[in-house]
Amino acid sequence: MSKESTGSTEVTGLADEFPGSAGLSGLPGELLLDAESLAAAADDFGHITHHLPAAVLRPGSGADVAHALRFAASACIPARARGAGHSTQGQGQVAGGLVLDLTVLRKIHDVGADSVTVDGGALWSHVLAATLPRGLTPPVLTDYLEITVGGTLSVGGVGGATHRHGAQTDHVLRLDVASADGTVTSCGPDHKADLFHAVLAGRGGHGVIVRAVLRLVPAPTRARRFQLVYPDLATLAADQSRLIAEGAFDHVEGQIVPGPTGWTYRLEAAAYHGPGEPPGDAVLLAGLHHLPGAVGEEIEDLAYGDFLNRMAAGEAYLRQTGEWHHPHPWLNAFLPGADAVRLASDLLADFTPADLGPSGVILFYPVSTARFATPGLALPDDPEAFLLSLLRTSPPDDPDAITHALAQNRAIADRIQSAGGTLYLSDPT
C-alpha cells in the first residue's frame, strides 16, 4: 500500500507540468514527498549537482519498480534509479521526476557454490558479509564497499583485481531488469543478451537492475599488502606494468599524493594467501625500483575481509573532520597505456596539490584491456590502459572554487579524450 509522507510538496502540484502525475499516489511502495526526502534525493557524494525530484518511491519489490516505471512513462514523468547516491555529478537524480530508491531492495537471496543472487540495492559490503563466511568472494571489488550492486553494475566497477579479472560487470551471470513497459525481464549472456549488455555499464538508461546473479570464486584468507614509495611516475608505471604482466600480485593499484616537496608516487599491491605463512617479501619485491624504507612505506598482513574494507578507517576519519560531506568534483578516466605517463605528467604539471584539496588523492594504475568484456564500458584502443582518478575535494560554501574545479576537469577531460583516453563514471559537462 502506498504511504505519502507529510511534507511541503503536493503530488497534485505536478499536474500542470506532467498531466496524470496525480496517479503517483497510487504507486505500490512507500511514496515520499516531504521536503527532507526530496532534498536528500537531490544530493549525492559530489554535493555539487542538485536536481529536486517531485517524489521518491521506495519500492517493495522488483514488480513495484516495473509498475512505477510504466506509470512514469505513461505520465511522461522522468524516472531514475538511485542506489547509495555515491555518484558525483547527479547521475541518480532527476529534476521534477520520480526517484526510485533501490536501497530498500537489498536482500541477499542465495549463496551457491559459485554464485550469489542479490537485490539491486544490496551493498557490496552486504554481499561480502554473506559470501566470505562460505569462503567465497566476487573476483573484482571496488575500493569502497558501501555502494550498491546496481549502482556499480551501471557504470562498470573497477579495482585492484581489474588487471586480472576486468570489471564487476564482467562477472554477472544474470540480471532481472525492470523496464518502462511494466515487466521484469530475466536476461543473461545467452538469454536476451541485447538487454543484458545494454544494462551493464548502461548508466541506468536501459532499465533498473532489481536482482543480479554474481559470479563467485574461492576467497583467500589473507592479503599481504605493500605500499611502496617511488621516485617518479615513470618508474612507478613501469613497475606496475611489469607486475600486471607477470601476475604475481592479485591486487595492483597506485596513488599520487601531495608530499613535502611535490607529488609522491605510491604503489599499492597485495598478494593473497592462505592461513599459513605469507609469500616471501623478497621474492615478491625482487627487481622493483621503489625506494626501500622511504617515509610512507608500509608492509602488513591483513585478513582478506579487512583488506577489502581498507577504506573504512579513512571514511570514519573524513566523516569526523566533515570532509566526507564537502564537494567532490571528481574526474575519472582511462588513459591509453602507450601514452599514459607522458599524458599524466603533462596534466600534473598544471594541477597542484591545492587543486586536489586537503583529503584528495589521485589514483593511477594499469589494467589490461583484454580482460574487459562489457560492451558498454568505453576503454582506450590499447592493450594496456591506466585509470587516472582525480579524487578531489573543494571547500564547502565556495561556489567559485567549484566552478574553477569543474572548468579544470573539463579541460583535462578534453585533453584525455583527444589523446585517445576515455572518461569513466561521468562526463564533466
Ligand X SMILES: Cc1cc2nc3c(=O)[nH]c(=O)nc-3n(C[C@H](O)[C@H](O)[C@H](O)COP(=O)(O)OP(=O)(O)OC[C@H]3O[C@@H](n4cnc5c(N)ncnc54)[C@H](O)[C@@H]3O)c2cc1C
Binding site for ligand X (CB under 6 A): 44-45, 80-87, 91-92, 102, 120, 142-144, 147-148, 150-152, 154-159, 203-204, 208-209, 425
Nearer to ligand X, 284 or 426 (CB): 426
Q: What is the H or E stretch that residue 196 is in?
A: helix 193-199
Report the distance separating Cα 154 and Cα 168, nearest Å: 10
Nearer to ligand X, 148 or 394 (CB): 148
Work out how close the CB of 205 gets to ligand X at its nearest, in angstroms, rounded to a whole number: 8
Work out how close the CB of 318 gets to ligand X at its nearest, in angstroms, rounded to a whole number: 9
- Sequential DSSP letters for 297-365: -EEEEEEHHHHHTTTHHHHHHHHHHSGGGS----EEEEEEGGGHHHHHHHHHHT--HHHH-TT-EEEEE
Report the distance separating Cα 180 and Cα 166, nearest Å: 30
State the pairing for strand pair 136-137/55-58.
Answer: unpaired
Report the distance separating Cα 122 and Cα 147, nearest Å: 8
C-alpha cell at 371: 580482460
Q: Provide, for the chain, the percentages of residues in helix, strand and coil under a 3-state DSSP scheme, each rounded to the nearest 5.
A: 35, 25, 40
Work out how close the CB of 84 gets to ligand X at its nearest, in angstroms, rounded to a whole number: 3
427: Cα within 13 Å, side-chain hemisphere: 7
Nearer to ligand X, 101 or 355 (CB): 101
Helix axes 340-349, 233-246, angle to 10 degrees: 150
Work out how close the CB of 343 gets to ligand X at its nearest, in angstroms, rounded to a whole number: 20
Work out how close the CB of 88 gets to ligand X at its nearest, in angstroms, rounded to a whole number: 7
Three-class SS of residue 272? strand
Conformation bin of residue 201: beta by default, left when phi > 0, alpha when psi is -120 to 50: left
Report the distance separating Cα 424 and Cα 426, nearest Å: 6
Work out how close the CB of 10 gets to ligand X at its nearest, in angstroms, rounded to a whole number: 25
Report the distance separating Cα 244 and Cα 368, nearest Å: 8
Nearer to ligand X, 75 or 153 (CB): 153
324: Cα within 13 Å, side-chain hemisphere: 12
Nearer to ligand X, 103 or 408 (CB): 103
Work out how close the CB of 158 gets to ligand X at its nearest, in angstroms, rounded to a whole number: 4
Q: How far is CA 124 from CA 137, 209, 215, in A?
A: 10, 15, 13
Nearer to ligand X, 43 or 284 (CB): 43
Nearer to ligand X, 82 or 126 (CB): 82
Work out how close the CB of 408 gets to ligand X at its nearest, in angstroms, rounded to a whole number: 20
Nearer to ligand X, 84 or 236 (CB): 84
Three-class SS of residue 385? strand
Nearer to ligand X, 59 or 337 (CB): 59
Work out how close the CB of 32 gets to ligand X at its nearest, in angstroms, rounded to a whole number: 16
